[in-house]
A and B are shown apart, each in its own frame.
Chain A
């Protein structure tokens, strides 16, 4: 491992600070939702998340100090390793909530699919950044699409459609900045619109259709699928300008809001800290995203730029979708909010991704 002390001044401490701030906000919310009044301290999930944060910072540091080009060059190996892990999960994984996502070893469990975005970003950055053509030709777009589909299908059949879908923006982000012709983008858009009725009729399972219908009119099924959406809206809406205060969120602590420290962590946060808290947090997310895009602009080479764009596209998609959903404004999907939601694998993978973003920026002047 090359640790060059001269690189440290180029580390983006502002980005690190913003990331730590967001994880802390997440930790505070997890503590509030999982508060154990008997002990007067947060419940075990808070401590698990704190532990994951420590581990995540280590992973981030590792991802920071290994030159991203070294990683990109070996990205196919990482891809193969991930595919192997996903296959192991498919046969030996732990079933939870009807899907097989976790590998358990001792007391430690890992969700390999969470690392899909980072690995895919590395592979695609290497592929498009390493060739002159980028994504300007149809063949390169299709080849990149195949890399995408490999992981996507493996994860989708767990089934974990939510996580699988987050791979798509990684691909789209990279091919966009890699020079995708706008004409194709327009054609793809038109095809998607025209194909959607066919997808609706043949492509979606009944439960998926029901989810969409419920989203359009939650009152149709207020105790079932619509319940979460209605409760999320009530949770956020009742927060007001200043919020109900730490531990005072009635919706989350009394169990009206489902998965309040995970998929709906932002709703719980919005209830307790109000619009002001939401404003600050959204500002932090915007800062993180814009600052990362700067890293892409400043990157020494196209591999670095594409890597950052890939990572940040997946991240942004998740942030925007989850927060919209947490306000009851998007259909409910099992999608976590990166940095804030409870979940060790998600945090680890996200911090690993930001390690790479910092890595690219830090090495912008090196050759």
Chain B
């Protein structure tokens, strides 16, 4: 090799090595910049992605608050159940995952389609596939965990109602939040898929009862296996509520209805403060059916049942009160000084008032106010209707609690109404006719009140004029011990003159002692009551065509308070199509006896169900079995009246009341 050539070689080699060196330094520097951008500048973004990659948040559902009765008995509890869920990550193929799971659990295609359709409409991150899973299904999923990385088994506390349908309308039911409820925002701070109260106390006190869901943060590996728990936020159980309800009275009321074969409902409350001791609406439903999603068959059966088991008749049904309204008439007439208790009228079974004949069910002869109430004479009260202006009647009815809402802490209460000039003007622009007043005088025509309103009315009479607010909750435990919840304030105070009160009370005592409610009499405990019969809300034509069909029969009311001289329990029995109020009074009798026995520490009276069973007889009064002893049942009672239950029906209702 020539030196010159060697030098050139050397020179060229060195130059090219420098080029390589510079190139490599540039490449490595570029990589340093790249890593800086990724690791430092964009760190936040990737950190979040890494966390959602390996951390999974499992909801821990809070148990809803337990409901107790006034004596501390658990009425509504929670039980455990399992939900098998598909968890959707950023890139989960939902269809494949659900189908794989369906394969393991052998679900039918229909169910798979249903889930996927639903997912399309309302996408969830946690897709419930099987609710109320059986142990076998849970075991199957756990043993196939490796093939089902996106499937989880959730332990979900589920509402349990140990007494089945008992007080179902009071508790209401829970259900998964519906899409329109999410949109409307009526529940705040709720995840889709959460279970919320839909009716009853569950609905009204949902915010207190539902508690706060917790969560558990677990580390999962790339096939979804849980490796470790890194964080746990315990769920907070919902507030516990102590209700004013007394389980024994509730049970006594429902069993009495059952024994008599009646449907309808009843309310028992403390007339001194408005605490509701029992509230029933029958027939009822079983809220357990709703607790983890009701199947459509059961739901449709409930929806189409003509006896409306989902409908709380006590707060939503409005009926003409019939003769129960005579209490209001008597108080109005006495207080206004229109009559004295000695005022008499003559009843020969029929009277012509404003040119049309009005009937009574008996021939009572010349009677005073007390006897008129005791025997429920229509003629006497027709004449009071002639003497009293409708607006005066309306005023007293309102003061006694028969107008508007009672304010009970249950959702969906309907407002009661008693006709007045202004009311009818608003209703259909017509003026009030004196004949309208005559119908209202015996609780027919332009009047529609809920059974609960009647219970507050009789409570007002019992407590001497305080318009209490019926309510259901007396204490709450938010996790720091029981805090009493004071009774809501009275809605009004009516001044009732002592002579007015004593006259009405004497009359109501005689109703039970020797009058229309004699079947409800309790030996040794005088108490007050008043029966009423209300025309069912159907047209006259139907009534004639229907003959003696169940749904054409009249409703029976019985309002009461006990004991007569020291009222501690008051209420109303509503016998739907029970024909007459007197036939429902034995229900009140049994519940009052239970109440008194409990108060005095005596053994409770035996259940009417066992009594009738041991006697080997059929229930005492099937719907429509006519008659209370000593009265003359008239199948056509009140037949002239028409569709009195709602506004807008022309009302010449005559006859009918007792």
Q: Is B219 in contact with A250, judged by CB distance below 8 angstroms?
A: yes
Question: What is the CB-to-nearest-CB distance from B513 to chain A, in angstroms, rounded to a whole number?
Answer: 82
Is the pair A236, B5 in contact by a Cβ cutoff of 8 Å?
no
- Bound complex: CA of A289 vs CA of B9, how far in Å? 22
Question: Considering the chains assembled together, what is the distance between the CA atoms of A177 and B14 in angstroms?
Answer: 8
Can you list 22 A-B contacts with CB-CB less than 8 angstroms, sorted by A residue number? A132-B5, A179-B9, A234-B46, A234-B49, A236-B38, A237-B45, A237-B49, A237-B50, A238-B43, A238-B50, A241-B43, A254-B220, A255-B223, A256-B222, A270-B39, A274-B39, A275-B40, A289-B24, A290-B25, A316-B24, A323-B31, A327-B38
The residue of chain A having its C-beta at the shortest distance from the C-beta of B52 within the complex is: A234
Encode contact with B along A250-262: 1 for CB under 8 Å, 0 otherwise: 1100111000000
In the bound complex, what is the Cα–Cα distance between A235 and B25 (angstroms)?
Answer: 25
Q: Least Cβ distance of A181 to chain B in Å? A: 11
Chain A residues within CB distance 8 Å of chain B:
132, 134, 173, 176-177, 179, 222-223, 231, 233-241, 250-251, 254-256, 270, 274-275, 278-279, 282, 285-286, 289-290, 293, 296-297, 302, 305, 309, 313, 316, 320, 323-324, 327, 329
Cross-chain contact of A251 among B12, B14, B43, B53 (Cβ < 8 A): B53
**Cβ–Cβ < 8 Å partners of B223 in chain A:** 255
Complex: A233 Cα to B49 Cα, angstroms: 10
Q: In the bound complex, do residue B43 and residue A237 qualify as a contact, i.e. CB atoms below 8 Å apart?
A: yes
Q: Does B140 contact A (CB under 8 A)?
A: no
Q: Do B39 and A223 have beta carbons less than 8 Å apart?
A: no
Inter-chain contact count A-B, CB under 8 Å?
A: 128
Majority-rule SS of B interface residues: helix
A-contact 0/1 string along B202-233, CB 8 Å cutoff: 00000000000000000111110001000000
Q: Once bound together, how far apart are the Cα atoms of A316 and B20, in whole Å?
A: 11
Q: Measured between alpha carbons, how far is A179 from B227 in the docked complex, in Å?
A: 59
Which residues of chain A have C-beta atoms less than 8 A from B550's C-beta? none
Q: Is there an interface contact between A251 and B24, defined as CB atoms closer than 8 Å?
A: no
Min Cβ gap B224→A in Å is: 10
Q: A282-B32, A305-B13, A320-B27 are in contact. List 5 more A-B contacts (CB 8 A).
A: A173-B20, A240-B47, A256-B54, A293-B17, A316-B24
Asked whether A254 lies within 8 Å of B219 as measured between CB atoms, the reply is yes
Select one of A173, A275, A286, A296 contacting B28, CB under 8 A. A286
A237 and B39: CB pair below 8 A? yes
Contact B36 A275 (CB under 8 A): yes
Given A238-B43, A240-B47, A293-B20, A254:B54 Cβ within 8 A:
yes
The interface of chain B, by Cβ under 8 A from chain A, is 1, 5, 9, 12-14, 16-17, 20-21, 24-25, 27-28, 31-32, 34-36, 38-40, 42-43, 45-47, 49-51, 53-54, 90-91, 93, 219-223, 227
- Chain B residue with the shortest CB-CB distance to A236: B38
* Residue from the list B16, B25, B219 in contact with A177, Cβ < 8 A: B16
Chain A interface SS verdict (over half): helix
In the assembled complex, the Cα of A361 lies from the Cα of B43 at a distance in Å of 42
Check A254/B227 contact, CB under 8 A, given A238-B46, A285-B28.
yes
Give the residue among B35, B90, B91, B222 with the most A Cβ atoms within 10 A: B35
**CA–CA, A177 and B57, complex, Å:** 59
Contacts of A134 in B (CB 8 A): 9
Quote the shortest CB–CB distance from B58 to chain A (angstroms).
17
> With A and B bound together, what is the CA distance between A279 and B33 in angstroms?
10
Give chain B nearest CB distance to A313 CB in angstroms.
8
Q: How far is the CA of A233 from the CA of B35 in the complex (A)?
A: 10
Report chain A residues within 8 Å CB of B38: 233, 236-237, 327
- The answer for the CA separation of A278 and B90 in the assembled complex, in Å, is 29
Nearest-CB distance from B49 to chain A (Å)? Answer: 5
A53 to B206, CA, bound (A): 67
Bound complex: CA of A274 vs CA of B54, how far in Å? 19
Using known A-B contacts A237-B46, A250-B219, determine if residue A176 contacts B16 with beta carbons closer than 8 Å.
yes
Q: What separation, in Å, do the CA atoms of A176 and B49 have in the docked complex?
A: 44
Report how far A320 CA is from B46 CA in the complex, Å.
23
Cross-chain contact A240 with B40 (CB below 8 angstroms): yes
Residues of A within 8 A of B39 (CB): 236-237, 239-241, 270, 274-275, 278
- Tell me the smallest distance from the CB of B90 to a CB of chain A, in Å: 8
Nearest A-chain residue to B49, judged by Cβ: A234
Q: Which residues of B contact A282 (CB under 8 A)?
A: 28, 31-32, 35
What is the bound-complex CA distance between A233 and B53, given in angstroms?
A: 13
Given A236-B35, A238-B47, A297-B17, is A222 in contact with B222 using a C-beta cutoff of 8 Å?
no
Given known A275-B35, A275-B40, contact A290–B21 (CB-CB < 8 A) = yes
How many angstroms from the CA of A231 to the CA of B93 in the assembled complex?
A: 18
Given A240-B43, A270-B35, A290-B25, A251:B16 Cβ within 8 A: no
Output the least CB separation between B504 and chain A (Å). Answer: 80
Shortest distance from the beta carbon of B438 to any chain A beta carbon, whole Å = 81
C-alpha gap A173/B23 in the complex (Å): 12
B residues near A240, Cβ cutoff 8 Å = 39-40, 43, 47
The answer on a CB contact under 8 Å between A241 and B46 is no
Per the bound structure, the CA–CA distance linking A134 and B1 in Å amounts to: 13
CB distance from A86 to the nearest CB of B (A): 29
Question: In the complex, what residues of B have CB within 8 A of residue A302's CB?
Answer: 9, 13
Assuming the contacts A241-B43, A254-B221, A286-B25, asked whether A296 and B50 have C-beta atoms less than 8 A apart, the reply is: no
Rounded to whole angstroms, the CA-CA distance of A240 and B41 in the bound complex is: 8
Contacts of A238 in B (CB 8 A): 43, 46-47, 49-51
Known: A234-B46, A237-B45. A309 touches B219 (CB 8 A): no
Contact (Cβ within 8 A) B14 A286: no
Measured in the bound complex, the distance between the Cα atoms of B20 and A134 in whole Å is 18
Q: Please state if B50 and A234 are interface contacts (CB–CB under 8 Å).
A: yes
Q: Flag if B221 contacts A255 (CB, 8 Å).
A: yes
A235, A278, A327: the one within 8 Å of B50 (CB): A235
> Which of B16, B34, B45 neighbours the largest number of chain A CB atoms within 10 Å of its CB?
B16
A9: min CB distance to chain B, Å: 24
Nearest Cβ distance between residue B533 and chain A, in whole angstroms? Answer: 73
